[in-house]
């Protein structure tokens, strides 16, 4: 078993940064800290098991043992609680972390994720809050980053057939911007889905559900 027990912190690089970029570095690094706290909290009762493997990259990184990818499962429900790619290059370093929460039917309800580039550990290159919804035979989800920017949305039939898969530039501001034949499907997919991350922009809100 391999767990870090020291609070995770990341220092911003020494170079001068524009104010907005520095604020984002602090915000996104804070997001990772909170995900790590959630991860540790869920493992506190030691009721889990793990699967792990070593992975890495070619190219510029050229290190095929760059991280240890550990999957943490709840021993009773067998649900995947979190995935962490531990980056052995950095003290207490995390290359990637995913944390999952489920509804009463065992379906993924919320996901949180953060990833650092191998070449740059100043702040995450990607942060995600993914909110899932299930209605009738549809499964839809929206993705937001830790700055609450709506970056992606997808809707599928439960049999796997895609209805919509829209990236940032393609997400309509209004349903009327879509072709008329797509508007009813879009409402069915996303009419009940939150338009922002809401309270989940702060992963610490999940801590109260773990007590």
Question: How far is 191 from 195, CA to CA, in rounded Å?
Answer: 9
| Residue 4 pLDDT | 38
The predicted model scores a pTM of 0.87
Q: Is the model's pLDDT at 195 over the cut of 70?
A: yes
Q: For the residues 130-134, what does the mean pLDDT come to?
A: 97
| Residue 85 pLDDT | 96
Question: How far is 199 from 142, CA to CA, in rounded Å?
Answer: 15
Question: How far is 164 from 183, CA to CA, in rounded Å?
Answer: 11
| Residue 89 pLDDT | 67
Q: For the residues 181-196, what does the mean pLDDT come to?
A: 93
Q: Is the model's pLDDT at 18 over the cut of 90?
A: no
Cα end-to-end distance, the chain, whole Å: 24
| Residue 90 pLDDT | 57
| Three-state secondary-structure class, residue 208 | helix
| Three-state secondary-structure class, residue 56 | strand
| Kind of pairing between the strands at 63-74 and 48-57 | antiparallel
Residue identified by tokens 């953060």 is 114
| Percent residues over pLDDT 90 in the chain | 73
| Residue 119 pLDDT | 81
């Amino acid at each position: 078993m391999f767990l870090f027990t020291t609070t995770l912190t990341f220092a911003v690089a020494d170079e001068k940064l524009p104010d907005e970029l520095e604020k984002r570095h602090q915000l996104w690094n804070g997001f990772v800290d909170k995900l790590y706290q959630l991860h540790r909290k869920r493992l506190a009762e030691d009721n889990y098991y793990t699967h792990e493997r070593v992975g890495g990259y070619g190219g510029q990184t050229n290190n095929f043992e760059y991280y240890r990818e550990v999957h943490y499962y709840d021993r009773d429900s067998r649900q995947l609680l979190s995935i962490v790619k531990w980056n052995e290059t950095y003290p207490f370093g995390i290359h990637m972390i995913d944390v999952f929460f489920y509804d009463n039917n065992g379906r993924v309800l919320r996901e949180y994720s953060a990833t650092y580039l191998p070449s740059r550990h100043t702040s995450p290159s990607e942060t995600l809050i993914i909110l899932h919804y299930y209605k009738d035979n549809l499964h839809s989800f929206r993705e937001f980053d830790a700055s609450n920017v709506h970056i992606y949305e997808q809707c599928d039939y439960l049999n796997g057939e895609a209805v919509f898969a829209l990236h940032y530039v393609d997400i309509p501001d209004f349903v009327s911007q879509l072709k008329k034949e797509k508007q009813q499907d879009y409402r069915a997919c996303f009419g009940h889905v939150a338009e922002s991350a809401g309270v989940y922009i702060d992963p610490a809100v999940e801590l109260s559900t773990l007590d």
